[in-house]
Amino acid sequence: SCLFRQITATNKHLKSLSKYGGIMKNSSSSSSSLYCGIAFTLFAILFAGSVSAQSSPPSSPPTDWGPMSINLEEFEYPYPVEYMNFGVYGEDVRIAYMDVAPTGSANGRTVILHHGGLYYGWYWSKQIKALAQEGYRVVVKDRLGWGKSSKPIIPYSISLWASNTARLMDHLGIEKAAVVGHSIGGQMVTRFAFLYPERTTHLVTVNQVGLTDRRFGRGFQSLTGEVDANPDMEAVYTNLLRWASGNYSAWHPEFLEHMRIRYGQRLSGDWPRLAHVSRLTGHMRAMDTVVNDRQHIQTKTLVLGGAEDYPTFAEEARRAADQFPNGEVFLIPNVGHNPHEEVPDTVNAELIRFLGS
């Protein structure tokens, strides 16, 4: 087996490649060779069966899947969940968050992790553990309109989400923090660093969407608010399979939780509300961009990502890093949109290196 790792440092225009190969030793005894051969064959058969059973999601939804609330009341997060209550656009809302204290020797610094568009704060669990062990206070919030947070029908914007991070910092008594964001969370933390430079120590985007401005020629479409309250669940699962194949370069059974939640929420009586909020946030993404924010952000910035996200991702990531005055890029070959889930050890090591710099 071979592990191939590529690091690209834009600010120094360097590439570092490393390979690690396994070594097999042969026994000098023919009987030992025979036993080893039999054992290896049995292992290979068992291993192949295990891999084939786990190498892709099931072709149909498991029979124990059922409805799930749009606020995930029945879904347990890896750390205690707290709530911050406030008002926005005349609505009383709350944001769910996890506030994890350092488990290693405290370094006095804070990292705030932001999830992607159709994800939730809990999928940062391996980064939370690693960063807390390094002495960081780690805060992870579900953005307004998703996860365990409220789902108000309001005009959403990237700036609103960024301001909610500042509001949460005030609520928790945090003066400055490193901000990390995946997918659309990468847009949120970029806007946060643009609006609140004095409160941002480090900026990290992980497979950010919207690396280039794609608004030209898209036109404007108003939202009617009409949602199919009784979706075809077979079609829903087919779309989830398509989503999984497009986001992960290698399948792991734990990724199925994302599909279970999304499938179950389609069966919720409150699904039309969540669908409407999703359309509002999707509409907002089409009308806003953070591309022009980069040139103004002096904060030390890392553009990190799985290089196989989509065909032009690596090129766009390098260009984005160049646009930050203090930007660098770290690309992971053979990994897709969710590197923090696919190769958490690699991502954790790079985060710890960068945040400690």
| pLDDT per position as a tens digit, 88-136 | 999 999 999 999 999 999 999 999 999 999 899 999 999 999 999 999 9
Is residue 209 a part of any domain in this protein? Answer: yes
**Tokens standing for residue 331:** 């690309």
pTM for the model = 0.84
Is residue 38 a part of any domain in this protein? Answer: no
Is residue 284 a part of any domain in this protein? Answer: yes
**What's the rounded Cα separation, in Å, for the pair 105 and 316?**
38
Most confident stretch, 161-165, 239-243, 277-281? 161-165
Confidence tier at 307 by pLDDT (50, 70, 90): very high
Is residue 252 a part of any domain in this protein? Answer: yes
Confidence tier at 51 by pLDDT (50, 70, 90): very low
pLDDT at 54: 56
Pick from 354, 350, 344, 357: which is nearest to 331 by CA? 350
Do 144 and 88 meet the contact criterion of CB atoms below 8 Å apart? yes
CATH (domain of 229): 3.40.50.1820
Is residue 7 a part of any domain in this protein? Answer: no
**What's the rounded Cα separation, in Å, for the pair 12 and 15?**
9
Number of domains into which the chain is organized: 1
278-281 contacts, C-beta under 8 A, 24 or more apart: 278/118, 278/145, 279/223, 279/227, 280/145, 280/153, 280/154, 280/155, 280/156, 280/223, 281/117, 281/145, 281/146, 281/156
Query: Residue 148's domain spans which residues?
Result: 82-355
Is residue 113 a part of any domain in this protein? Answer: yes
pLDDT tens readout for residues 183-228: 999 999 999 999 999 999 999 999 999 999 887 777 766 666 566 7
Q: Which residues contact 224 (CB under 8 A, 6 or more apart)?
A: none
Is residue 229 a part of any domain in this protein? Answer: yes
Is residue 19 a part of any domain in this protein? Answer: no
Mean pLDDT of 155-162: 96
**What's the rounded Cα separation, in Å, for the pair 284 and 288?**
6
